[in-house]
Amino acid sequence: MGPTKKELKKQMELLRKQQEEQEQEDSDEIDQEEEDDFEEGDDLDGQDIEDEEEHDDGEDLEEGDDDEDDEDEELDEDGEEIPKLQPNSKLPRKLPNDKSDDEDEGDMEAKAKEQYMMGLKGQPDQAILNMKINDILHILSKFKENSKDGRSRQSYLEELTEYFMQYYNYNRDLVQLFMTMFNPNELVQFFESNEQQRPLTIRTNTLKTRRKELAQILIQRGVNLDSLAEWTKVGLKIYDSKVPIGATPEYLAGHYMLQSASSFLPVIALAPQPNEKILDMAAAPGGKTTYIAQLMKNTGVLFANDVKADRNKALIFNVQRMGINNCIVTNYDGRKLNKVIHNCDRVLLDAPCTGLGIIARDPSVKATKQLIDVQKHAHLQRELILSAIDCCKKGGYVVYSTCSVTVQENESVVDYALKNRFVKLVDMGIEVGEEGYTKYQDKRFDPQLKKTRRILPHVHNMDGFYVAKLKKLENGPRVTKQEVVNDHLDAMENEDVENVNINNKNKKSDHKLKVQKGQQGVIEVTANGEDYDWNEEKEQEKIEKTEETDQKENEEQSKQAKKDQKKPKGEKKAQNETQVKKQDNKQVKKESNDQANGEKKLSKKEKKLAQKAQEKKEKQNNQVKQQDEEENVEEEVEEKPAAAKEQKQDKKNGQKKQNQKSEQKNTEQVAKQPLNKQQEKKEQQKPQKNNNAQKTENEVEEEVEVEEKAEKKVKDFKGKNNNQNNKKFNKFNKHQKNRPFNKQQGKHQFQKNKKVKTE
């Protein structure tokens, strides 16, 4: 039975009223936001809300938009506490898809009817939605058993998405995004935890007081508090208070900072030390900066940077309030900071992000943040993290953190840094949190990502956060093999052979290809192989061997690390230093292997062009020397066959010794076995003197070949038929002259000879 006309009219009336109330509330909210705007001198603290604010910053930067997100500041001008957390309510006042403004009578009538039929009064029935959600969760938990209506899993998931959107008031993008990270049951827990208020937390400023003293004073003022957690000695959690926590005399005197528990972690991971040079790349309003300074004991130099000049006001205020005097506040785009600040011992990048880990503190993101925002932030974060690494010294540390739970803004960014810079992930000494993801959808991240930490609101009862600690192993960009190849080929394609320098530096590091930073198209190729001859098999063997050794070393290291945890502090430190050195060496070794690998792939094209360059040089040299050589030619020709014989003889001597036993065997065997046709033929071809049972057949063949070749070359030369041969021959003779002979080994020193040749 449908509703009567009277009932419908009543329903419409009710809707109209609700709409008016809603509009009134909205306009009140806007007024409030304007009042709260930082520009008007409201909050100068903001340390706890800093993470809520950060999510728009990346965009603002791109769009030149400023500070529209400061409405979440915690205190007003007089230090009155503004309730930071929205009241918990899963009942939306206004659904995201409501089009309440332009509805006409017909629409409203239909809507009223629909709502009436559903038993709703202006809003979806939460109880019914809840029930439906639970039903689907039940079906999905044991899909084969529980699904009886022949529907696909996907269609249930789609229905569930709709219910989640309505029940928890998220937009579709976000529900779908979270569904890629959590299974449906976990997702419900995540959504639920975002509806919970968590106790306010503060951090004691140990530059001015001690936690115990602070706690006593606050208790006297009527604050109900407790220590925050086992992993911090400076944190306190406030259950309730008779006084505004952001306006006590202790607060104004800088004895503490309002700061979320999760926000402690990046600084703990950074582990700042006194007298160091540290950079906080995205610092405003200074929650973490002031903690870093405190751990540095107000010594050394701390650069606190933020791209937003306005937010820097709050940063400066906090730095002054907390009595910090080792801090320089700068106002740069973090992406360009690497051109200004270098060689820092440690860098913190508490990156601007979507804030999708702190929804409980800023429920507005449920409706406002979309996938495109995640992608935009991820892009900015990638640029910032590379810059942060570039500001750090070799051997220094970079901590990357966000207050988002999305993989795109976290693991994906760190994985990108691992691929593009010489860094590795290290343990952070943080007990709390879950391992970072190494798999996400079709992506596979570096296994090291396990060392990063995810703090999840539904698991750890803290704001969602992500922390990663990187150690910088080497300066400069890590150029991927493919990039090296591409760059090199680009240079080659431009026929820019002038820029390809083939230097024989006589290093033992074999082929080494290096793209020099900042010199586009200039590639330095160092090689000690003769004329770029690449012995594929040998090199592959070497690479495989090194990889094996690396793997073994890694395993040993992790075993050692476990042992080290039990060692006393001093011993640990010394051990760490040795490990750092070892790791550095290993990295350099790996780099050269990677580069070797890259070069290996350079293929024929590169070889040809490199040869071209070499030939060009040789031509020039030859032209100058040609006259000279022609004069000396007769002399050299006479020396040449002797030199060739000498060389062959040396080789044979060496070989003879090595093969003596096997030769003996071979000869015996040959003598015993009936000769086959081929052998017979060879035997017939052999000159008399080679019918020596001590020599192998190969040797004999080689000798004949050498002699034949030598004779041919002499003929060619004497007849002066071939100019090319002429040059080669002269060069060959010259080398023979220069080749020192190692009497002991009975060998010419090939390595030196190569050097002479290339030089």
Ligand X SMILES: C[S@@+](CC[C@H](N)C(=O)[O-])C[C@H]1O[C@@H](n2cnc3c(N)ncnc32)[C@H](O)[C@@H]1O
Contact between 73 and ligand X (CB under 6 A)? no
**716 has binding-site annotation:** no
Question: What Rg value do the Cα atoms of the chain yield, rounded?
Answer: 38
Residues tagged active-site: 403
Alpha helices, H only, 89-235: 105-117, 126-141, 143-146, 153-168, 172-179, 184-193, 211-220
Q: Is 283 annotated as a binding residue?
A: yes
Residue of 45, 54, 390, 591 interacting with ligand X (CB under 6 A)? 54
Give the contact letters, 614-633, x = binds to ligand X (CB under 6 A), - = no: --------------------
CA distances from 402 to 258, 378, 392, 566, 644 (A): 18, 11, 19, 31, 71
Tokens of 431: 């007990």
Q: Which of 648, 646, 644 is nearest to 713 (CA)?
A: 644
Nearer to ligand X, 283 or 500 (CB): 283
Binding of ligand X at residue 341 (CB under 6 A)? Answer: no
Contact map string, positions 253 to 282, toward ligand X, x by CB under 6 A: ----------x-----------------xx
For residue 481, the tally of other CB atoms under 10 A from its CB is 17
Region of 75-83, 133-141, 231-239, 333-341 interacting with ligand X (CB under 6 A): 333-341
- Which of 92, 286, 436, 457 binds ligand X (CB under 6 A)? It is 286
Cα(733)–Cα(625) distance, integer angstroms: 14
* 379 touches ligand X (CB under 6 A): no
Instruction: Find the part of the chain contacting ligand X (CB under 6 A) among 180-188, 283-291, 597-605, 647-655.
Output: 283-291
Tell me whether residue 282 is annotated as binding. yes
User: Is 37 one of the annotated binding-site residues?
Assistant: no
Asked whether position 70 contacts ligand X by CB under 6 A, the answer is no
Shortest distance, position 133 Cβ to ligand X, whole Å: 33
Rounded to a whole number of angstroms, the minimum distance from the CB of residue 468 to ligand X is 15
Comparison of 115 and 354: residue with beta carbon closer to ligand X: 354
Q: How far is it, in rounded angstroms, from Cα 576 to Cα 580? A: 6
Interface segment toward ligand X; rule CB under 6 A; list 328-336, 409-417, 438-446, 623-631: 328-336
- Beta carbon nearer to ligand X, 312 or 595: 312
- 3-state SS, 413-466, equals HHHHHHHHEEEEECCCCCCCCEECCCEECCEECCHHHHHCEEECHHHHCCCCEE
CB of 449 to ligand X, least distance (A): 21
Distances (CA, A) of 408 to 186, 222, 238, 502: 19, 44, 33, 42
Per CB under 6 A, which region of 47-55, 187-195, 459-467, 586-594 contacts ligand X?
47-55
The answer for residues whose C-beta is within 8 angstroms of residue 10's C-beta and 6 or more apart is: none
Tokens 């919970």 correspond to 196
Question: Do 524 and 507 meet the contact criterion of CB atoms below 8 Å apart?
Answer: no
8 Å CB contact between 424 and 470: yes
Angle between helices 172-179 and 153-168 (to 10 degrees): 130
Please identify, using beta-carbon distances, which residue of 59 and 629 lies nearer to ligand X. Answer: 59
CB of residue 413 to ligand X, shortest distance in Å: 14
Quick one: 166 or 326, whose CB is closer to ligand X? 326
Among 15, 49, 61, 129, binds ligand X (CB under 6 A): 61
**Which segment (33-41, 179-187, 307-315, 737-745) binds ligand X by CB under 6 A?**
307-315
Question: Residue 742 — φ and ψ, nearest 5°?
Answer: -90, 105
- Candidates 112, 307, 365, 418; binder of ligand X (CB under 6 A) is 307
Does 56 bind ligand X (CB under 6 A)? Our answer is: no
* Cβ closest to ligand X, residue 355 vs residue 598: 355
> What's the rounded Cα separation, in Å, for the pair 745 and 658?
12
Residue 397 C-beta-side C-alpha neighbours within 13 Å: 20
| Region for residue 424 given its phi and psi (left: phi exceeds 0; alpha: psi -120 to 50; beta: otherwise) | beta
Q: Helix 697-719 vs helix 677-685: angle between axes, to the nearest 10 degrees?
A: 50
How far is the CA of 91 from the CAs of 177, 195, 357, 442, 560, in angstroms? 22, 11, 21, 36, 54
Residue from 129, 261, 279, 283 touching ligand X (CB under 6 A): that is 283
Residue 50 lies near ligand X (rule: CB under 6 A):
yes
Does the annotation flag 644 for ligand binding? Answer: no
Given 74, 350, 591, 636, the residue binding ligand X (CB under 6 A): 350
Instruction: Return the number of the residue (382 or 511) whose C-beta is nearest ligand X.
Output: 382
Return the bridge partners of 476, or none.
none
- Exactly one of 284, 344, 527, 644 binds ligand X (CB under 6 A); which one? 284
For the bound state, the minimum distance from the C-beta of residue 399 to ligand X, rounded and expressed in Å, comes to 11
- Least Å from the CB of residue 499 to ligand X: 34
Residues 727-756 that bind ligand X (CB under 6 A): none
Distance in Å, CB of 347 to ligand X, minimum: 12
CB count within 10 Å of CB 488 equals 24
285 is in an annotated binding site: yes
Distance CA 88, CA 52 (A): 17
Please report, in angstroms and rounded to a whole number, the separation of the first and last CA atoms in the chain. Answer: 101
| Residue 352 binding ligand X, by CB under 6 A | yes
Among 36, 43, 45, 57, binds ligand X (CB under 6 A): 57
DSSP annotation of 605 reads H
By three-state DSSP, how is residue 627 classified? helix
Short-list 460, 446, 377, 455, CA closest to 418: 446
Give dist(CA 51, CA 462) in Å, integer: 13
Binding residue per annotation — 288? yes
User: From the CB of 384, what's the least distance to ligand X, in Å?
Assistant: 6
Q: Are 557 and 451 in contact (CB under 8 A)?
A: no
Residues 23, 17: Cα–Cα separation, whole Å = 10
57 close to 307: Cβ distance less than 8 angstroms: yes
The answer to whether 475 and 420 have CB atoms below 8 angstroms apart is no
Closest distance between ligand X and the C-beta of residue 544, in Å? 43
248 or 290: CB nearest ligand X: 290
Considering only 92, 254, 272, 287, the residue that binds ligand X (CB under 6 A) is 287
Interacting residues with ligand X between 630 and 659 (CB under 6 A): none
Whether omega before 285 lies within 30 degrees of 0, making that bond cis, reads yes
- Minimum gap (Å) between residue 330 Cβ and ligand X: 10
Site for ligand X in 308-327 (CB under 6 A): 308, 311
CB of 388 to ligand X, least distance (A): 10
Residue nearer to ligand X on the CB measure, 54 or 373:
54
Does residue 28 have a known ligand-binding role? no
Least distance (Å) between residue 40 CB and ligand X: 19
**Complex with ligand X: residue 246 or 352, whichever CB lies closer:** 352
SS (H, E, C) 671-723: HHCCCCHHHHHHHHHCCHHHCCCCCCHHHHHHHHHHHHHHHHHHHHHHHCCCH
Considering beta carbons, is residue 311 or 321 the nearer one to ligand X? 311
Known binder of ligand: residue 65? Answer: no
Closer CB to ligand X, residue 147 or residue 320?
Answer: 320
Number of shown-chain residues binding ligand X (CB under 6 A):
25
Residue 79 annotated in ligand binding = no
Q: How far is CA 500 from the centre of its chain?
A: 31
Q: Please give the residue ranges that form the binding site for ligand X (CB under 6 A).
A: 47, 50-51, 54, 57-58, 61, 263, 281-288, 306-308, 311, 333-335, 350, 352
Binding site: what residues are annotated? Answer: 282-288, 306, 333, 350
Binding site for S-adenosyl-L-methionine: what residues are annotated? Answer: 282-288, 306, 333, 350
